[in-house]
Amino acid sequence: MINLFDLQGKVAVITGGTGVLGSELARGLAKAGAKVAVLGRDPQRRDAVVAQITEAGGEAMGIVCDVLDLEQLQAAKNEVLKRFGTVDILINGAGGNRQPATTSPDLSFFDLPVDELDYVVRLNFMGTLLPSQVFGRVFAQKQEGVILNISSMAAYRPMTKVVGYAAAKAAVSNLTQWLAVHFCQNYSPHIRVNAIAPGFFLTDQNRYLLTDAKTGELTPRGRAIMDHTPMGRFGEPFDLVGTVIWLVSDASKFVTGTVVPVDGGFMAYSGV
């Protein structure tokens, strides 16, 4: 049975591979046997993730790439193909929110900067669509492959404050279903597209919303999340790895077009 989850010999590309969650997924895929291409905008963090993988006995390469730059994505694809010969898995890990696109007592909805909102929506939605175009072409040509997107709890129930982020993640869930049908009907039933919807994890993008910068204590928002998470804690990055390996391996070869919550029970809890 364990062979169903084996990624030995597979080539995985992960965008946002230098972030808190993305880097953990990159390390997890490598431990499962995949050769990993880590894409990110920060060369130092990229090199650190690649070094961690290689020091642990895995195989990885790093590429500086902005997911909103089509030319950089094309160049990244060419680098991966030159080094590894193919691509089997794409994880669209790039995304997140920014404080200037977040409502607060000091910044009303009416005053949110258009350029900040536009960036957050583009990063999460177009930052998922464009890599799927570029690397999905490889899958269409070889008639097989797996795309895994990162949605959010905010896609199921809009979260206060993060209007652009929540709407964009809802679009990512919709895009996941659209791509799953499109690839199956137009190219091959062996091309699958799914997503995970993480619950609440402390990342660089949301730490300021969930914990007090000075004391480290939970903010009222952070406490509300704890009160509505039956498992009573924030997620750890490694909590995502098992679900991701299932969705990109043969263990889920009849699963496509689905969004899997990894949320400690948050979505199931009504508050009563």
The pLDDT tens digits of the residues spanning 136-145 come to 999 999 999 9
Report the pLDDT value the prediction gives residue 218, as an integer from 0 to 100. 83
Q: What are phi and psi of 254, to 5 degrees?
A: -110, 20
What's the whole-number mean pLDDT along residues 128-134?
A: 98
Q: Is there a domain that residue 35 lies in?
A: yes
SS3 225: helix
> Is 84 a residue whose pLDDT tops 90?
yes
> Is 121 a residue whose pLDDT tops 70?
yes
Closest CA to 123 of 61, 165, 186: 165
Q: pLDDT by residue (tens digit) across 16-56? A: 999 999 999 999 999 999 999 999 999 999 999 999 999 99
> Is 109 a residue whose pLDDT tops 80?
yes
Containing domain of residue 110, as a range?
Answer: 2-262
CB 165 within 8 A of CB 108: no
Q: Is there a domain that residue 203 lies in?
A: yes
What's the whole-number mean pLDDT along residues 126-134?
A: 98
What's the whole-number mean pLDDT along residues 78-87?
A: 98
Closest CA to 243 of 39, 21, 64: 21
Residue 179 to residues 74, 137, 194, 249: CA-CA distances in angstroms? Answer: 20, 12, 9, 18
Q: pLDDT by residue (tens digit) across 145-155? A: 999 999 999 99
pTM of the model: 0.94
Q: Is there a domain that residue 14 lies in?
A: yes
CB 135 within 8 A of CB 183: no
Q: Is there a domain that residue 16 lies in?
A: yes
Residues tagged active-site: 165
- Burial label, 140 (beta-carbon count in 10 A; 0-12, 13-18, 19+): middle
Report the pLDDT value the prediction gives residue 77, as an integer from 0 to 100. 98
Q: What total of structural domains would you count in the chain?
A: 1
Check which CATH number belongs to the domain holding 16 and give it: 3.40.50.720
| The CA-based dihedral angle spanning residues 118, 96, 194, 64, taken in that order and rounded to the nearest 10 degrees | 90
Give 2's pLDDT tier (boundaries 50, 70, 90): confident
Residue 63 to residues 20, 73, 147, 196: CA-CA distances in angstroms? Answer: 17, 10, 19, 24
Q: Is there a domain that residue 178 lies in?
A: yes
Burial profile 11-39: b = 16 or more Cβ within 10 angstroms, e = fewer: bbbbbbbbbebbbbbbbbbbbbbbbbbbb
Instruction: List beta partners, residue 89.
Output: 12, 146
Alpha-helix runs per DSSP H in the chain: 20-31, 43-55, 70-84, 114-121, 127-142, 153-156, 163-186, 207-210, 220-227, 241-248
SS3 127: helix
Q: pLDDT by residue (tens digit) across 160-208? A: 999 999 999 999 999 999 999 999 999 999 999 999 999 988 776 667 7
Report the pLDDT value the prediction gives residue 270, as an integer from 0 to 100. 86
Report the pLDDT value the prediction gives residue 256, as an integer from 0 to 100. 98
Give 97's pLDDT tier (boundaries 50, 70, 90): very high
What's the whole-number mean pLDDT along residues 13-17?
A: 98
Classify the C-alpha dihedral 55-57-61-62 as positive or negative: negative
Rounded CA-CA distance 158/144 in Å is 34
What's the whole-number mean pLDDT along residues 123-148?
A: 98
Report the pLDDT value the prediction gives residue 177, as an integer from 0 to 100. 98
Q: For the ranges 29-33, 151-155, 210-214, 231-235, which has the lowest average pLDDT?
A: 210-214
CB 233 within 8 A of CB 269: no
CB 85 within 8 A of CB 14: no
Q: Is there a domain that residue 272 lies in?
A: no
Q: Is there a domain that residue 182 lies in?
A: yes
Instruction: List beta partners, residue 146.
Output: 89, 192
Q: Is there a domain that residue 6 lies in?
A: yes
- Which tokens sit at 175? 């895009």
